[in-house]
Amino acid sequence: MSSSTGAYASFQRALSPHTLAVTQPVEDVKSAQASRYYVYIGCNSVNDVIDAVPADYRDCLREPLKALAATVSRLAATRSTIAKWEALKDAGQVPPHMRVKPLEVQFTKDFAGDARAAEATRNIVEANRKYQDSVRDLALEAKRIEARFLQEATDNEPLFKLLSPSVIAAFADVKSRYMRPRFDEVMGEPTAAGNIELAGWESDPEVEKVWKNLLKDLPLIARRVITIVEQIERQKASKVAKKRDLADTATVEMGDITAESIQKMVQKHLEAERKKQEAPKKKLPNFKKDGKNRSSSSKTARSDPNKPMKAWTAKTAQKKKAATSKKNTSKGKGKGKAPAK
């Protein structure tokens, strides 16, 4: 009997107006929180998140949220660099901008061929390799420290310290702009001015409620910005990786084709040289056996075709004329009658 009475009493309390009055505001608060949550989660860009903030606080949160997005982008870039350098370290290599050419020591000709010169050169190369490895490891550790620093800046407490000061500072201005009148009721007969008199101005409780809700939502807002930027950076990294893989594939294929083409060219060249060496040599005519041909060819052809012809001058013409007249004179002496004895 007592148990049924207790259950009935609980049922009565649940249905009482006082219980409903207490429960309803709690449900309203939860519903409002859920509504705000789905609004921020539904944003697909940083600008969408800023636009979802109450209008009176958008300007004061715009720059801090943009700065947070930039920090997340730098963190993603730092992590990408760490991944690349770790891959190079596993392969026993260093990043291109850290590579240093080993010092080349000039040896004398006599010492250059000695085994001690080769050993000294190997020691220099090995020291250079160790130096590059140590620099790479130190740079990698520095990047890891930077990544931890940027990661700490995206934790909840630093984010609240980043965003809340601007919201708190803006609340004073918003509160002063949204004031509501306070009235005093006049008991008794209505007067000519009415039974309500303006007693002063007071801050609107709804303004303070919006401000407090925004302060509670700051971690959610910041986390949504971080998630959006991380998604964008992952998409960028995926596109870059696909382009790099495509370029590597094309390079390998083109490299195979080029190597095959070069090999064919070398083979053709060697075959042509072999045929040229195996071809019978042409015999030149023997001018010593045929003097007439040699003399006639020497008259008709110039001894040196590359030698330039002499310029025709007046002096040359005079010499040619004198030679012709001398020839005619020598021919005339042999003609006519013999002299009388």
287 DSSP assignment: T
Return the amino acid letter for 73. Answer: S
pLDDT at 78: 96
Domain boundary among 253, 272, 291: 272
pLDDT at 64: 96
pLDDT at 88: 94
**148 and 209 assigned to the same domain:** yes
Closest by CA to 95, choosing from 81, 109, 108, 105, is: 81
Q: Mean pLDDT of successive 10-residue segments in the chain (341 residues)?
A: 48 42 56 90 95 95 96 96 95 93 90 91 94 96 97 94 94 91 65 66 90 95 96 90 69 54 72 73 57 50 52 61 63 50 43
**145 and 240 assigned to the same domain:** yes
Give the dihedral sign, CA 24/26/32/37.
Answer: negative
Domain boundary among 272, 295, 324: 272
Burial of 323 (0-12, 13-18, 19+ CB in 10 A): exposed
CA distance 258 to 59: 60
**22 and 144 assigned to the same domain:** no
pLDDT at 184: 72
Domain count for the chain? 2
Would you say residue 148 lies in a domain? Answer: yes
Domain boundary among 256, 272, 288: 272
pLDDT at 23: 46
The answer to whether residues 167 and 210 touch, using CB atoms and an 8 Å cutoff, is no
pLDDT at 277: 72
**19 and 108 assigned to the same domain:** no
CA distance 164 to 216: 10
Which residues are paired to 180 by β-bridges? 202
The answer to whether residues 182 and 203 touch, using CB atoms and an 8 Å cutoff, is no
Q: Provide CB contacts within 8 A for 214, sequence distance 6+.
A: 53, 54, 57, 167
Would you say residue 110 lies in a domain? Answer: yes
**26 and 70 assigned to the same domain:** no
**204 and 268 assigned to the same domain:** yes
**124 and 20 assigned to the same domain:** no
pLDDT at 21: 41
The answer to whether residues 78 and 150 touch, using CB atoms and an 8 Å cutoff, is yes
Chain CA centroid to CA 218, Å: 33
CA distance 39 to 21: 28
pLDDT at 115: 92
Would you say residue 330 lies in a domain? Answer: no
**70 and 126 assigned to the same domain:** yes
* Structural domain that includes position 28: 12-38
**90 and 209 assigned to the same domain:** yes
pTM recorded for the entire structure: 0.60
Would you say residue 227 lies in a domain? Answer: yes
Long-range contacts of 178-181 (CB under 8 A, 24+ apart): 178/203, 178/204, 178/207, 179/203, 179/204, 180/204
Would you say residue 139 lies in a domain? Answer: yes
CA distance 132 to 338: 112
**75 and 60 assigned to the same domain:** yes
**151 and 256 assigned to the same domain:** yes
Would you say residue 83 lies in a domain? Answer: yes
Would you say residue 249 lies in a domain? Answer: yes
**33 and 176 assigned to the same domain:** no
Closest by CA to 218, choosing from 163, 168, 158, is: 163
CA distance 224 to 49: 8
Would you say residue 243 lies in a domain? Answer: yes
